Protein backbone atom coordinates (compact mmCIF):
# COMPACT_ATOMS: atom_id res chain seq x y z
CA UNK A 1 0.00 0.00 0.00
CA UNK A 2 1.04 3.55 -0.64
CA UNK A 3 2.47 5.53 2.27
CA UNK A 4 1.03 8.91 3.20
CA UNK A 5 2.01 11.49 5.82
CA UNK A 6 -0.49 13.49 7.85
CA UNK A 7 -0.10 16.39 10.22
CA UNK A 8 -2.45 16.44 13.22
CA UNK A 9 -3.37 18.83 16.00
CA UNK A 10 -5.34 17.24 18.85
CA UNK A 11 -7.40 19.41 21.20
CA UNK A 12 -8.90 18.42 24.53
CA UNK A 13 -7.71 17.04 27.84
CA UNK A 14 -4.63 15.31 26.43
CA UNK A 15 -1.52 16.68 28.15
CA UNK A 16 -0.26 15.01 31.30
CA UNK A 17 -2.32 11.85 30.74
CA UNK A 18 0.12 9.65 28.78
CA UNK A 19 -1.19 10.67 25.36
CA UNK A 20 2.25 11.05 23.73
CA UNK A 21 3.43 7.73 25.15
CA UNK A 22 0.26 6.06 23.86
CA UNK A 23 0.79 7.66 20.43
CA UNK A 24 4.39 6.39 20.30
CA UNK A 25 3.48 2.89 21.46
CA UNK A 26 0.58 2.68 18.98
CA UNK A 27 2.71 4.02 16.12
CA UNK A 28 5.28 1.29 16.75
CA UNK A 29 2.51 -1.33 16.80
CA UNK A 30 1.24 -0.21 13.38
CA UNK A 31 4.64 0.50 11.79
CA UNK A 32 3.99 4.25 11.64
CA UNK A 33 6.85 6.74 11.68
CA UNK A 34 6.88 10.44 12.59
CA UNK A 35 6.74 12.36 15.85
CA UNK A 36 4.46 13.78 18.56
CA UNK A 37 4.89 16.77 20.90
CA UNK A 38 2.99 18.95 23.35
CA UNK A 39 2.21 22.53 22.37
CA UNK A 40 2.10 25.50 24.73
CA UNK A 41 -1.66 25.99 24.29
CA UNK A 42 -2.42 22.52 25.74
CA UNK A 43 -2.90 20.80 22.40
CA UNK A 44 -0.73 18.02 20.97
CA UNK A 45 0.85 18.08 17.50
CA UNK A 46 1.74 14.93 15.58
CA UNK A 47 3.00 13.87 12.18
CA UNK A 48 2.32 10.27 11.18
CA UNK A 49 3.61 8.44 8.12
CA UNK A 50 2.35 5.03 7.06
CA UNK A 51 -0.50 3.49 5.14
CA UNK A 52 -3.83 5.29 5.24
CA UNK A 53 -5.45 2.32 7.02
CA UNK A 54 -2.73 2.09 9.67
CA UNK A 55 -2.89 5.82 10.41
CA UNK A 56 -6.68 5.67 10.68
CA UNK A 57 -6.41 2.67 13.03
CA UNK A 58 -3.88 4.58 15.15
CA UNK A 59 -6.22 7.58 15.41
CA UNK A 60 -9.07 5.28 16.47
CA UNK A 61 -6.87 3.91 19.27
CA UNK A 62 -5.97 7.44 20.39
CA UNK A 63 -9.64 8.46 20.40
CA UNK A 64 -10.29 5.60 22.80
CA UNK A 65 -7.59 6.71 25.26
CA UNK A 66 -9.21 6.27 28.68
CA UNK A 67 -7.19 8.80 30.70
CA UNK A 68 -7.96 11.87 28.63
CA UNK A 69 -10.35 13.07 26.00
CA UNK A 70 -10.00 14.42 22.49
CA UNK A 71 -12.44 17.23 21.73
CA UNK A 72 -11.28 17.99 18.18
CA UNK A 73 -8.70 16.87 15.61
CA UNK A 74 -7.40 18.96 12.74
CA UNK A 75 -5.60 16.98 10.05
CA UNK A 76 -3.98 17.65 6.71
CA UNK A 77 -1.93 15.64 4.26
CA UNK A 78 1.70 16.66 3.87
CA UNK A 79 4.57 15.28 1.73
CA UNK A 80 5.97 11.87 2.66
CA UNK A 81 9.42 12.24 4.25
CA UNK A 82 10.58 8.62 4.42
CA UNK A 83 11.27 8.72 8.16
CA UNK A 84 12.22 5.50 9.94
CA UNK A 85 11.22 6.05 13.58
CA UNK A 86 8.45 7.57 15.66
CA UNK A 87 9.69 9.99 18.32
CA UNK A 88 8.32 11.94 21.24
CA UNK A 89 9.86 15.40 20.82
The catalytic residues are: 20, 38
Phi, psi of 33 (to 5 degrees): -110, 165
User: Are residues 10 and 43 in contact, defined by beta-carbon separation less than 8 angstroms?
Assistant: yes
Strand stretches in the chain, DSSP E: 3-13, 33-38, 44-51, 69-78, 86-88
Amino acid sequence: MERVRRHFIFYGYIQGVGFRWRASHTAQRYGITGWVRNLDDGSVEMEAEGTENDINDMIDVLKGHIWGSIDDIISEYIPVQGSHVFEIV
